[in-house]
């Protein structure tokens, strides 16, 4: 039975297999892996089989998953890897409730760095989950058990959390996909806070497609969560540019780690991306503040009573970190907040020029022995490229990047602005060689091909957005059109001879909004079906021949953006 993907289990079910058989196989795999540090509380075998026999229909019907034990599951203890903190919640966290309603099969709660404080996976009184690929190396944290359960083939996907990299470092450590959504996109109500203003629920899976499908189930606003946000409409076009840090800003543990990152850059170039070197010094600087200032105090505030009155119940390293938060000054916190605002501005400017920032997920993966020799320093180094992401309100997708010559896995992370998950998924899928479906309008939407000022970031794009438009993808016409400069906008003609291909953007606009939108378009522009090189024929802007007579012909530049850049 294949637990490597959602699609593989769907094939099993289509052939007559049952969720009960999948549940039995999961129990067998848990026993075979034989790691007492993996589960903190597993669903009892009898209960699991009973659940499997009565799963609701849904997009994740019969797909087994596990949950990091700082996320509430009704009837199972929530410990956050602190036995004295253990309590049994009466209801599921919204993120769990959404998965169960979609038919997913919960196997249990798995281990973590206590109170999600750490990137190593060893700070738990319940022991250290085994790295399923390299038992002598750390599993990564704080979502250690979430990564191990998927890498070991016990669960098809899992939920972790991510505040400083906890959904990305374990993915790199065990050759998984780690999806860290935008802040607030997935509700965090029912999650034991680490830094509540920065916390995200993350997803581990073997493929970008699976992680993205799970995200589609769990994302969405929660009216009871003050940090919940709704993704804005629209999207952004591809610039086919990938940002990479300046060479002097990259640090690695070994030459092998450096070589793998160079290979990742080359892979992006093979896929057609142009590489731009960018300065990430402000991002690295604010990352160092995460464990030095205001956000340490925020961690402490989450369990302040325990830190002050029951410190003996905490793991020694966790205790040392959280006790440090008690002495932080409010006056210093504002310095941290201002630095974070400056870093967010730097990131905004960076992503105005690039689709994504390509980073090593970490400088290198330490062995358990190396970590024991320098526990604090090794943990800090693991967060070199992860700690700033949530502080700067960014989305991130970690994917595998091959192995060093000694067999140690490496990973890279694609980072983008908030709510860029779809763009990062397409890039990440291409990087690892997954076939990625082209976005398409929904049944109640009309495809609209924009060639000028209505494109993303240009002066009339607000009209498309106001009518509910959302960006689908860049597109290019067949070579039978000419483009003219009409001043504030272009005009495009279809011609019998001498045509060229014109670059534009495909947007989806609600069918009910199409008429009001078209009413805003002045003559001599009209609408017709535009022929694109991929064979599709969306509606698009076309000019009357009399309206462009005598105007500059800018066809040779291939598009309005190129014309604006050449002015």
Task: With residue 555 as reference, give the H or E element that holds it.
Answer: none
60, 61, 62, 64: CA torsion to nearest 10 = 20
Check if 202 is active-site: no
Domain ranges of the chain: 6-220+237-432, 445-566
**Taking CA 195 as the corner, what is the angle to CA 198 and CA 233, rounded to the nearest 5 degrees?**
20
Query: What pLDDT does residue 244 have?
Result: 98
Going by C-alpha positions, the residue among 107, 99, 176, 171 that lies closest to residue 140 is 171
Classify the phi-psi angles of 181: left when phi > 0, otherwise alpha if psi is within -120 to 50, otherwise beta.
beta
**Residues 142 and 159 sit within 8 Å (Cβ to Cβ):** no
Query: What pLDDT does residue 237 have?
Result: 62
Query: What pLDDT does residue 566 have?
Result: 85
Active-site entry in 5, 41, 124, 142: 142
d(CA 466, CA 472): 16
Q: Report the SS3 class of residue 535.
A: coil
Q: Which residues of the chain have pLDDT under 70?
A: 233-238
Active-site entry in 124, 146, 158, 166: 166
Query: What pLDDT does residue 235 have?
Result: 60
d(CA 489, CA 455): 11
d(CA 535, CA 540): 14
Structure tokens at 511: 């069918």
**Residues 203 and 160 sit within 8 Å (Cβ to Cβ):** yes
Q: In sequence order, what are the beta bridge partners of 67?
A: 109, 159
Query: What pLDDT does residue 520 have?
Result: 85
Q: How far is CA 147 from CA 123, 160, 193, 410, 560, in A?
A: 15, 8, 20, 15, 46
Query: What pLDDT does residue 267 have?
Result: 97
d(CA 161, CA 165): 9
Structure tokens at 154: 């016990």
Fold of the 445-566 domain: Hypothetical upf0131 protein ytfp (3.10.490)
d(CA 541, CA 31): 62
With tokens 């450096």, the residue in question is: 258
Check if 166 is active-site: yes
Cα Dmax for the chain: 83
List Cβ neighbours of 254 (8 Å cut-off, separation of 6 or more): 364, 404
pTM of the model: 0.85
Q: Report the SS3 class of residue 209.
A: helix
In eight-state DSSP terms, residue 480 is -
Query: What pLDDT does residue 518 have?
Result: 84
Active-site entry in 68, 109, 180, 328: 68
Structure tokens at 12: 């099993």
Q: Do the first three CATH levels of 6-220+237-432 and 445-566 match, i.e. the same topology? A: no
Q: What is the CATH number of domain 6-220+237-432?
A: 3.90.1300.10
The DSSP-derived string for 70-94 is TB--TTS-B-TT-GGG-B--SS--H
Q: In sequence order, what are the beta bridge partners of 151?
A: none
């Amino acid at each position: 039975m294949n637990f490597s993907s959602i699609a593989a289990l769907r094939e099993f079910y289509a052939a007559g297999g049952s969720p009960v058989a999948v549940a039995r196989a999961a129990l067998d795999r848990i026993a075979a892996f034989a790691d007492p540090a993996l589960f903190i509380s597993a669903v009892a075998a009898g209960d699991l089989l009973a659940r499997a026999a009565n799963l609701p229909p849904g997009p994740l019907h019969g797909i087994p998953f596990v949950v990091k034990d700082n996320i509430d599951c009704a009837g199972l203890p929530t410990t956050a890897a602190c036995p004295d903190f253990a309590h049994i919640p009466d209801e599921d966290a919204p993120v769990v409730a959404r998965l169960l309603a979609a038919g997913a099969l919960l196997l249990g709660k798995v281990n973590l760095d206590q109170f999600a404080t750490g990137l190593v996976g060893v700070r738990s009184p319940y022991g250290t989950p085994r790295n399923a690929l390299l038992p002598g190396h750390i599993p990564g944290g704080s979502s250690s058990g979430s990564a191990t359960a998927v890498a070991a083939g016990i669960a098809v996907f899992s939920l972790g959390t991510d505040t400083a990299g906890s959904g990305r470092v374990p993915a790199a450590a065990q050759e998984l996909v780690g999806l860290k959504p935008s802040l607030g996109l997935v509700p965090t109500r029912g999650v034991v806070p680490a830094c509540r203003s920065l916390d995200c629920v993350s997803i581990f899976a073997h493929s970008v497609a699976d992680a993205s499908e799970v995200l589609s189930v769990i994302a969405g606003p929660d009216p009871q969560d003050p940090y919940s946000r709704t993704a804005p409409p629209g999207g952004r076009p591809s610039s086919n540019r990938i940002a990479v840090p300046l060479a002097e800003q990259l640090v690695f543990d070994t030459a092998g780690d450096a070589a793998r990152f160079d290979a990742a850059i080359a892979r992006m170039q093979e896929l057609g991306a142009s590489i731009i070197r960018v300065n990430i010094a402000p991002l690295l600087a604010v990352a160092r503040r995460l464990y030095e200032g205001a956000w340490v105090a925020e961690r402490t505030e989450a369990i302040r009573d325990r830190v002050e009155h029951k410190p003996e119940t905490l793991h020694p390293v966790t205790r040392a970190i959280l006790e440090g938060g008690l002495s932080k000054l409010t006056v210093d916190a504002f310095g941290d907040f201002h630095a974070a605002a400056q870093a967010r501005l730097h990131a905004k400017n960076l992503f105005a020029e690039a689709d994504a920032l390509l980073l090593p997920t970490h400088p290198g993966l330490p062995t358990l022995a190396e970590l024991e020799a320098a526990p604090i320093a090794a943990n800090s180094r693991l967060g070199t490229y992860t700690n700033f992401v949530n502080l700067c309100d960014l989305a991130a997708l970690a994917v595998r990047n091959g192995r060093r010559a000694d067999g140690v896995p490496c990973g890279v992370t694609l980072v983008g602005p908030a709510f860029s998950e779809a763009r990062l998924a397409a890039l990440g899928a291409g990087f690892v060689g997954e076939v990625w479906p082209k976005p398409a309008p929904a049944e109640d939407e009309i495809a609209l091909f924009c060639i000028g000022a209505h494109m993303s970031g240009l002066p009339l794009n607000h009209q498309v957005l106001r009518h509910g438009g959302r960006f689908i993808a860049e597109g290019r016409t067949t070579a039978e059109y000419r483009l003219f400069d009409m001043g504030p906008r272009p005009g495009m003609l279809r011609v019998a001879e001498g045509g060229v291909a014109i670059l534009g953007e495909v947007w989806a606009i609600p069918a009910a909004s199409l008429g009001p939108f078209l009413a805003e378009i002045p003559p001599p522009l009209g609408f017709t079906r535009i022929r694109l090189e991929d064979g599709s024929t969306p509606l698009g802007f076309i000019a009357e021949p009399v309206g462009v007579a005598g105007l500059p012909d800018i066809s040779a530049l291939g598009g309005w953006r190129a014309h604006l850049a050449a002015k």
